[in-house]
Structures are given as C-alpha cells and as structure tokens.
Amino acid sequence: MEHTANDTLDFHETTEESLKLEVASQWQLMWWKFRKHKLAVISGIIVILFYVVALFCEFFSPTVPTTYLDVYATAPPQRLRLFLDGKWFPHVTGYRGERDPVSFRKTWEIDYSTYIPVGLFVHGDPYKLWGLIPGDLHLIGPKNPGDPFYLMGADMIGRDVFGRLIYSSRISLTVGLVGMVISLSFGILLGGISGLVGGAVDNIIQRIIEILMSIPTLPVWLSLAAVVPIDWPALRVYFMISIILSLISWTGMARVVRSKFLALREEDFVMAAMLDGCSRGRLIMRHMLPSFLSHIIASITLWIPGLILGETALSFLGLGLRPPVVSWGVMLQDTQKVAVIARYPWLLAPGGAVFIIVLTLNFLGDGLRDAADPY
Amino acid sequence: MVATHTTQQVAPELTMRSDDHLLEVNHLKMYFPITQGLFSRVVGYTKAADDVNFYIRKGETLGLVGESGCGKTTVGRCIVRAYEPTSGEILYRDPDGGVTDLAALEGKEIQPYRKDIRMIFQDPYSSLNPRMTVFQVISEALRVNNLASGSEMRDRVEYLLQRVGLRPEYIQRYPHAFSGGERQRIGIARSLVTNPKLVVCDEAVSGLDVSIRAQILNLLEELQDDFDLTYLFISHDLSVIRHICDRVVVMYVGKIVEVASGLDVYVDPKHPYTEALMSSVPVSNPRARDKGTRILLEGEVADPSNPPSGCYFHPRCRYAQQLCREQAPPLKDLGNEHYSACHFAEELSLAGVRMV
C-alpha cells in the first residue's frame, strides 16, 4: 500500500448484499428487474408453454389432425371428470345424437350412462415426430382408441378441435419467424449504416423507408397471393409471401436502430473508447451494440404478436394459408358464418388461443422493455 | 511506432518555437458546417475555434477558460483528435524528440499518439460504459493497443486504481456501484493507463460535488508530479483554474483574447472580457464583498456562426471605440508572457480579482 497517494476511500461497508449488486452484470440486473414484474414472468411461462407444446405437438395432441369420426360431427365439448363414484377414474361421458324431426339438425345430448376412460401417455394415432421419429404415444387420450374424445368439441366433419388447435400452434407460432429474422437483419443493417455513416447515405435510406412505409400491405398481399404459382404447396406460398413482405417491413426496426446509434454516437463513453484506440468494428460491437441489444430483444417480443395476428387474419380471409395446412387462421375459416358461431361456439377456440398468446407476448414484451435498461 | 517514423521522413522537418514546448497549437480552426434542406446544403459555418494559437510547456498545467460555447472543449477535442480540425497545426513533441503535426494525421496514423495524449471527461456518469466492469473500462486502451495482456494488464489496472485512491478489489465492479467522485477517479485511472505525456482535462471536476472537487484537484496535482504529466485544464470555473494552473488562456467566441502566466490573469487582466470574468469571481471574505464592482456584461454571447465585425467582444465591451468595431485585434505580446487581443491593452487599466 505504499503507492497509495491519498487515503483509500472507505466509503461504505461492503455487505454481501451490496457486493452482489456491485459486481452484477447487465443481464443479471435485467433479470432481477424483470423478476419483479410478476405479470411478465407469468406471461413468459405461458409463452414458453405454448412454444413447448408447439414443438412437441404430435405428443400433446390426442389425435392427428386428419383423424375424423364423421358420426360425431359438430359434437359439443365433453367435460373431463376425474372421479366416478368417489373413485379415481378419469373419464369423459359419451354422446347420444338425435336428429331434430323438423329442422333435420343434429342435436347432441350427453349420455351419462356411457363412460369413456381417459388416460395419460396412451397409445393412439400413429405419427412421426417432426416428420422423422415414428411414435403413437399421446399425453392424453381415450384408453380405447376410436372412442370419441372431444375436449373442445368436434368441427363440421368430426375432427377434434383440441388436437387441431395444438397442431395449428406449430404453424401459427413459427411461420412468421423466418420473415421476422429477415426484416430484423435488414433493419439492423440498414438502420446501423444510416445512423453511423449519416449524411447523404442516411438521407437516402430514410427516404426509402418513408416510401416503403406508405405501401399498404393488404393489397400487396392480395396481388402476391394471386401471382405465386397455383401448384405450389400452401405452406411454401405463405413462406414466399411473408419473405417478400419482410422486405418492406424492416423499416420500423431500422428507425429504432438508427436512433439508438445516433444517440450513442454522442455518448462520452463511446468517444472515450474511440480515444482508447478502438477500431470502428470494435466500437460498434463491444461498446455500442450491447447498449441496445436488450431493447432489440424486447421489441422482437412485441413484434411476434403482429405476425401471429397477421397470419390469422390473412388465413381467415383465405389469402394466407389454406387447408390441408392447419393453422389458427385456417381453423377460424369455419366460423365465417354467424350461424355457425351461434350453433357451434367451440369452433372459436383458436381465437381464444390467439387472444392468450398475443396478450401474454405483449405483457412479456412490456416486462422485457422495462428491464432492458437497468441503469 | 513504425508509422511515426515514416510520417516524419515524408513530412518536412517540423520545429517548435522553444525546446521545452510539448505542444504547439498554430492557427487552429474548427468550423462545423450548418446544413439545411433535403440535400444537406451547407449554408454556413459555426466557427467553434477560429485561429487559435497557444503552446503548452512540458510539465506545466495550462488552463483554458471561457463561457459555455466559447470553443474551449472544441480545442481540447481537436488536440486529442476526436475532431478533425478544419485547418491549422497541432505540433506535438514525441518522447524521442521528433515533432509531429497531429492535425495532419489521418486514419490509423493517429493511433500511436492516442496513448500519449489522453482525455478526462466532464461527466463521470456518461463517460463510463455502464455495461463494462471497472477492469474492462480501464484496460480497454491496453487491450486494443496490445500494450499489455494477462496478469501484467491486471497488475497495471490494480496499481492505477490504488494510485487514484480506490481499492484494487473494486476491479470487478460495474460503474453503477460508485459515486460521482469515485467514477471520476476511475476516469482518471483510464486516462493514465497508457502512461500518457499530455492529459486534456475537459471540465474534469465541474460535474462533481464541491466537497469532492478539491480531493480530485489534489489527486490530479499529485499524479502530475509522480507520472510527469502535462495538463491542459479546460474549465469555466475560475477558482478551479486558479488552484491548479500555471498559465491561463482565456477564450471568447472561438478566439483567444488573453494569455497570461501565473496569477497575472487574475490580478492584472489586460482584456476587458477577462476583467468582466474576474469581477464575477465570488469573494470569500464577507467584509470585502460589497466593496467590489461587479461588471455585468450586457447582451448575449456572440453567435459563432455569425460573429460581429471587428473585435468579437465590442458589442458588450464598455471601453469599445470605433476602431474595435472595424478591426479585429491581433493577439499582442505585452511582455512577460502576457498576451492580449485588445487594441487598447496597454492603455486600459483594468481591475483584477482582489486577493483578500
């Protein structure tokens, strides 16, 4: 300690608690702050659950989406009961269908005398997990394959709405992500150039952004849907369109990135790093990018709901995905008639799923955004 | 250092006016373009530094004072080459005796000099990256210049932390764990990590609490002796300048109005602007307080993009005459290292700070 020029500052007692805070990195501080946002944490868990279910939808669904039992068309949801006469016996009750003699409409009544035993990890419809691994194990399903098991009712031709909902989540939750990655890279790249280079380049990029932002997307979608070859599979068509659309939807991200770079360029610590002799690349990657990476992650979370809503809306209108692809929007096509909604309201279940995931993603995004700048 | 030698061979031999000058700033101009419209047409220039001349001796502390917006920070940033000067020379004497014009260097050529001329920033909060530990912040210059690595780098950072009065154990903490004064000590350690010759202190204590200011000033003085440093001390705070500076340069609207050594600038100002500045220094003795004549300047500081004719100070000067409106005064040598840019520097008898 003979070097100490003046007294070492003994400014505060270092408790274990404060030490933990003082050596905490950005991500730790963010996590601590995020953790306090209860709604965001719960939403985060729900979002993760949705994506896990989407990833293993073959296993979580009691059926495969092509299975149908036409005798049970438009059957209402069954209630899952866990006990029978005070004993553990998970089951659903059977149906008794009758045709109305006047309107010839099929009406369903619950048959309390038949019980369909339900089990976990049952063997049912065979499937291939991710199209690769064959299996027939389902998380939940009737113990005797072929028994009716409609937790969310059946659709117009007797397919299980619950199972199709789970399968749909895979498409609906992921189909926009490729487009998003493209727009994100475009946005960060062009926004970064715009903010860092400035001058005429900035001017040109900003004017291009303004032009692109003024293009209405729905007519573009309409015409693109008409242009792509008719013999393409529906999923590829949708991919193509979302990729083309991502080429014009990077503008918002580009503006965010540009403004961040403009603000950071004036920061003293960036100038200090430049005077330390940092190269341009190091200045950006090491000193500037970490300052707003968390903001980008938060805005991605707030972006995904838009993609999900977009898919649902376009498929509902018949412009996006088409059967046999199953997505929430495709499923909702069945509910285009008011009469259908009035009679078979359970067909709106995909709307509920959209509602929950969009809401939770927004809460999660809000929490992330609040935590994104812990300083 | 290869780059240094090649530039010296190509450039004509540069010399300084005196052997003990570490830095000479000659006719330095820094004009910022004012652009307008869609195509960024240049409609004018903000003359933040307009024909600035001064020198810094080895081992001294040169004060640079003036109001906000007078261009003192711009001059500092030109010297550390954060800005590229519009024209002029910034001559720097290498440790091996050669003279280099820093203003003429481009791109990577500046790199070897970045470690010799360092900067301490005003705001201790924004000048430290909140996402990097103290160690990362201080060692960055060593790392990018390949000056040290591994345990050698760690030892150097710990040693400097100790020298600026912080515990070496704080090395893994993030800046948010420190107070303003402590952060400024970290900033000082960062500037010293490369063993610099010249340190530009840009309002280095202005952002600090008054009680901390004296500590940091004393620390800077100690470090100056121990590390053989030369300071360019930029400040608007006259009491701070008086405390630490050997010579003082006074700036007004991008131009130097007075240069004086020692306490001359305080007790014997030779420019009406300096006189007005000195009359604004608070008097600590309450009995002497009301005897002073406080000169309240009329009008606003001149617009550096549209300065007045003649002497820039004439619209606010109470001694202004016809000559002042027509002709810009040169910086005249009044002897004894005292320079003033006033036509009537010799005739006027101006009041300084009463040393009570």
Residue contact B165–A279, C-beta within 8 A: no
Do B262 and B286 lie in one domain? The reply is: yes
- Over range A116-137, report the average pLDDT: 80
pLDDT value, residue A6:
43
In a domain, B240, yes or no: yes
pLDDT value, residue A173:
84
Do B225 and B259 lie in one domain? The reply is: no
pLDDT value, residue A223:
82
| Among B82, B141, B218, beta carbon nearest to A277 | B141
- Domain of residue B58, CATH code: 3.40.50.300
How many of the other CB atoms lie within 10 Å of CB of A149?
A: 27
Give which of B32, B142, B144, B183 to mutate to test A binding, by max A Cβ within 10 Å.
Answer: B144
- Quote the minimal CA–CA distance from B340 to chain A in Å: 33
Q: Kindly state the helix (H) or strand (E) to which residue A279 belongs, with its residue range.
A: none
Q: Which of B232, B249, B266 is the last residue of a domain?
A: B249
Q: Which of B226, B249, B272 is the last residue of a domain?
A: B249
Do B142 and B46 lie in one domain? The reply is: yes
The residue among A64 and B344 whose pLDDT is bigger is: B344
Residue A256 has pLDDT above 80, yes or no: yes
Q: Which of B220, B249, B278 is the last residue of a domain?
A: B249
How many of the other CB atoms lie within 10 Å of CB of A351?
A: 17
Question: Using a CB-CB distance cutoff of 8 angstroms, which residues of chain B are in contact with residue A197?
Answer: none
Measure the CA–CA gap between A52 and A57, rounded to whole angstroms.
8
pLDDT confidence of A4, banded at 50, 70, 90?
very low
What contacts B257, CB < 8 A, 6 or more positions away? B250, B251, B271, B273, B274, B313, B340, B341, B342
Beta bridge partners of A140: A120
- Over range A132-148, report the average pLDDT: 80
Residue B283 per-residue DSSP state? P
Residue contact B144–A279, C-beta within 8 A: yes
- The string of DSSP codes covering B321-345 is -HHHHHSPPP-EE-STT-EE--TTT
In a domain, B355, yes or no: no
Give which of B118, B129, B195 to mutate to test A binding, by max A Cβ within 10 Å.
Answer: B129
Residue A372 has pLDDT above 80, yes or no: no
- Residue in chain A closest to B126 (alpha carbons) equals A268
Calculated CA dihedral for residues B14, B16, B19, B25, nearest 10 degrees: -130
In a domain, B351, yes or no: no
Give which of A268, A280, A292, A294 to mutate to test B binding, by max B Cβ within 10 Å.
Answer: A268
- What is the rounded end-to-end Cα distance, in angstroms, of chain B? 51
For B:206-245, CB contacts with A below 8 A are 215, 218-219, 222-223, 226
CB-neighbour burial class of residue B167 (10 A; exposed 0-12, middle 13-18, buried 19+) = middle
Measure the CA–CA gap between B356 and B354, rounded to whole angstroms.
6
| Side chain identity at residue A100, one-letter code | D
Do B31 and B106 lie in one domain? The reply is: yes
Report CA torsion sign: B164, B166, B167, B170: negative
Do B195 and B267 lie in one domain? The reply is: no
Q: Kindly state the helix (H) or strand (E) to which residue A91 belongs, with its residue range.
A: strand A87-99
Measure the CA–CA gap between B276 and B297, rounded to whole angstroms.
7
- The string of DSSP codes covering A33-68 is HHHH-HHHHHHHHHHHHHHHHHHTHHHHSSS-TT--
Mean pLDDT of chain A: 81
Do B75 and B194 lie in one domain? The reply is: yes
ipTM of the complex: 0.84
- Given a cut of 70, the residues of chain B with pLDDT beneath it are 1-12, 38-40, 262, 288-293, 354-356
Q: Which domain holds residue B14?
A: 2-249
pLDDT confidence of A14, banded at 50, 70, 90?
low
In a domain, B354, yes or no: no
pLDDT tens digits, A66-108: 777 777 777 788 877 787 777 888 888 877 777 777 777 777 7
- Quote the minimal CA–CA distance from A206 to chain B in Å: 11
Q: How many domains does chain B have?
A: 2
Q: Does B168 touch chain A (CB under 8 A)?
A: no
Residue A159 per-residue DSSP state? -
pLDDT tens digits, A277-330: 888 888 888 888 888 887 888 888 888 888 888 888 888 887 777 777 888 888
In a domain, B117, yes or no: yes
pLDDT value, residue B128:
92
pTM across the whole model: 0.76
Do B237 and B278 lie in one domain? The reply is: no
Residue A204 token pair: 């040109």
pLDDT confidence of A15, banded at 50, 70, 90?
low
pLDDT value, residue A13:
52
Calculated CA dihedral for residues A260, A262, A264, A270, nearest 10 degrees: 150
| Among B127, B218, B223, beta carbon nearest to A272 | B127
pLDDT value, residue A110:
76
pLDDT value, residue B7:
47
- Quote the minimal CA–CA distance from B90 to chain A in Å: 17
pLDDT confidence of A24, banded at 50, 70, 90?
confident
